[in-house]
Structure 1
Amino acid sequence: MGISNQEGRSIIVAQDGSGHCRTVQEAIDLAPAGSAGNWTVIRIKRGVYKEKVHIDKPFLYLKGEHANDTIITYNDYARKRFPDGSEYKTFNSYTILFGADDIVAEDITFRNDAGRGELVGQALAAYVDGDRVCFRECRFIGHQDTLFTGPLPDKPLQGGSFGGPREGEPRRAVHRQWYDRCYIEGDVDFIFGSATAVFTACDIYSRNRLTEENQANVKLHPHISGWVTAASTPEGRSYGYVFIDCRLIGDAPPESVYLGRPWRNDAKVAYIRCWMGAHIRREGWDNWNKPESEATVTYVEYESSGPGAVSHGRVPWSAQIDEAEAESYALGSVLSEGGSWDWEKRRLT
């Protein structure tokens, strides 16, 4: 049994005025904070909603008509400046912030239109900072830092502040997220953060940033088109990012994209039965100029396939695991760490 659409707990968003609200943020503001068994369903009609959305209420179910036609987009970016002259930085650049537990989103595109990171810096399509958050058949589109899976690490590597709306929030031990049959597009570190996140049957698209028109802007790493992940898994967690039956695709040049690099030294990433295109580099993983991380990261693969899937050329501090080890990365095992979650029931009926 899934989530029922109870009378009086459904809000319709339509730009033509035929619903309860014309914008997504209006619907979020109107929605009551729910509880287990008492969800609010927000149905978003087809349209391109250019707005910056902030969600701070639990037990919301956002349902689009189709991800190709239901689009939430904005164009903030890290180098943009506030009226006082200070920069937005990474974590103010989001299009949508999921800042509560127990949220489901389905059939929606979340996009940041600011442009290439070489020109504008980081530009998040989605900032997801909650436990038991589920996305189904959604699309996340950007360039650098497309999808942030919160929480923030304990402290910045440089400077005294991350900036952004979640600065100073109390630290919690568990942040679990599930991305099912989603499409995620970007180039540099475009899936990054500290959450335990499982990606099932997703398409992970690496954009080519080494185009002729952009070549003059690519001053650092002129032969690298990107990194898929930059995990900051907290010390002591069993899981970070787990990709199961995903496809790593894109238009980046051959051998120009790494599977990941460690934002923090305890990063954990696993690719289980994933197909990898020719854009994936033979060595697979990058230490981000932090050789000490090679002794602490957990980077593993099981039954990778495709032209980018090689075992003999991977860095020695990654591992090809066997079937028994791969079983520990099953969806239920990963999502149940740290507490119960009826993830199988998170579906609208």
Structure 2
Amino acid sequence: MASPRSWLSFHVSSFIVTILIFCLSHCALCLDGQTVVDSPLLTEKLGINRTIKVDINGNGEFKSIQAAIDSIPEGNSKWVIVHVRKGIYREKVHVPQNKPYIFMRGNGRGKTAIVWSQSSEDNIDSATFKVEAHDFIAFGISFKNEAPTGIAYTSQNQSVAAFVAADKVAFYHCAFYSTHNTLFDYKGRHYYESCYIQGSIDFIFGRGRSIFHKADIFVVDDKRVTIKGSVTAQNRESEGEMSGFIFIKGKVYGIGGVYLGRAKGPYSRVIFAETYLSKTIVPEGWTNWSYDGSTKDLYHAEYECHGPGALTTGRAPWSRQLTKEEVAPFISIDYIDGKNWLPAWV
């Protein structure tokens, strides 16, 4: 008969093995905080075996990104890599609704860039990059609209770097550059991992249902206006609408003073959680200057933020400081149903 000690040792060992098997089988796509999501990992998880090479110097199948996308058949049903090698690609790029399952892979956001220069009274028309197809991923690419800002608050002031208007879209290690209206996160479930976003006024806006994990948000001072700019302008319009911008473990810094967000709709929802806020964030934190109605349904909130811009003294009266229980549903990857469609998340 086995001794009590050997019996206990056996069952402890079996328990550990069971836990390891569970973790390996259930958490393979959920990576710890020390892991970097790189291109080979994404390729492996997606099971891609087809690559279209784009090289501005002519050492690929195409010299133009748009030409590569155009070559993909309508109704595409299998993941394909569009490998955009290093270089500055001066073109407007559009991924249309009928071309899903594209993995646009750059050589790093400091090496591969899509650049255009256009201001317009129409945000969509001004966009350097537009994605309207579901199941799209970008990795290691910069998207830039280098148009001058122009006169503040005129109809020709929009200069969008990227227009994201599809469901199940993810950006890993990408960058977005402009001033006014940089990232038009229009609609759908989106995930941004370790991205850099730069701007001065409303530079992350729309009504997407989006998680921004470890985002670097850089504020560019706009000396033309006395009213402060804002990092976000979220446009959730009803209580039942499942949209909102959730920022987790990133940082907001730069030059000048801005609000974390302004209400662009009666139910605007933005949360900054465990984020470093520099003194570029003004004491009020939030504003409803573009929305003159009641503030009772606005969901402008913070959770355990830190830094000189995170002081709660002087915060807008409708803004919220959340508890661990209140923030939990929003900072989970389940907020965007990510376990069902993301190849990897941190």
TM-score (norm 1): 0.81
Cα distance change on mapping 1:209 and 1:89 into 2, 3 Å? same
AA partner of residue 177 (structure 2): I
Change (3 A) 1:33 1:2: farther
Distance 1:130 1:232 in 2: 16
Aligned twin of 1:108: 141
Residue 345 of structure 1, CA deviation: 4.3
Shift of 1:116: 1.7
* 8 A contact 1:11–1:31 mirrored in 2: no
Shift of 1:330: 2.2
Query: Which residues of 2 match residues 262-273 of structure 1 at below 5 A?
Result: 262-273=263-274
Please state if 1:227 is matched with 2:230.
yes
Q: Specify the code of the residue in structure 1 equivalent to 2:142.
A: T
Structure 1 346/274 Cα, relative in aligned 2: closer, same or farther at 3 Å?
A: closer
Is the counterpart of residue 40 in structure 1 residue 55 in structure 2? no
Q: 1:293 to 1:205 in 2, by over 3 A?
A: farther
| Unpaired segments ≥5 residues, structure 1 | 79-87, 152-174, 211-217
Q: Counterpart of 1:244?
A: 248
Per the alignment, in what secondary structure is the counterpart of residue 92 of structure 1?
helix
What are the equivalent positions in structure 2 for 1:182-331 lying under 5 Å apart? Answer: 182-210=195-223, 218=224, 221-224=225-228, 226-235=229-238, 236-252=240-256, 256-331=257-332
The amino acid that maps onto 1:44 is V
Q: CA deviation at 1:259?
A: 0.6
What displacement does 1:111 show?
0.1
Q: Does 1:132 align with 2:145?
A: no
Shift of 1:326: 1.7
Pairing 1:20–2:53 present: no
> Which residue is 1:52 aligned to?
92
3-state SS, counterpart of residue 261 of structure 1: strand
Q: How does 1:103-182 map to 2 (within 5 A)?
A: 103-118=136-151, 120-151=156-187, 175-182=188-195
Structure (1 or 2) with the greater helix fraction = 2
Q: Give the structure 1 partner of residue 4 of structure 2.
A: none
* 1:2 alignment counterpart: 45
Amino acid at match of 2:170: C
Shift of 1:334: 1.0
Return the alpha-carbon distance in structure 2 between the equivalents of residues 293 and 114 of structure 1: 36
Structure 2: unaligned runs, 5 residues or longer: 1-43
Q: 1:268 to 1:117 in 2, by over 3 A?
A: farther
- 1:331, CA displacement in angstroms? 3.3
2 CA distance for matches of 1:193 and 1:89?
14
- Counterparts of 1:186 and 1:28, CA distance in 2: 28
Aligned length: 297
Amino acid at match of 2:282: R
Contact 2:264 2:290 in 1 (8 A): no
CA distance in structure 2 between the partners assigned to 1:54 and 1:308 by the alignment? 37
State the shift of 1:33 in Å: 4.5
Q: 1:342 to 1:289 in 2, by over 3 A?
A: closer
Give the aligned partner of residue 168 of structure 1: none
Structure possessing the higher radius of gyration over alpha carbons: 2
How far is the alpha carbon of 1:263 from its aligned partner?
Answer: 1.4
Does the 8 Å contact 1:25/1:54 carry over to 2? yes
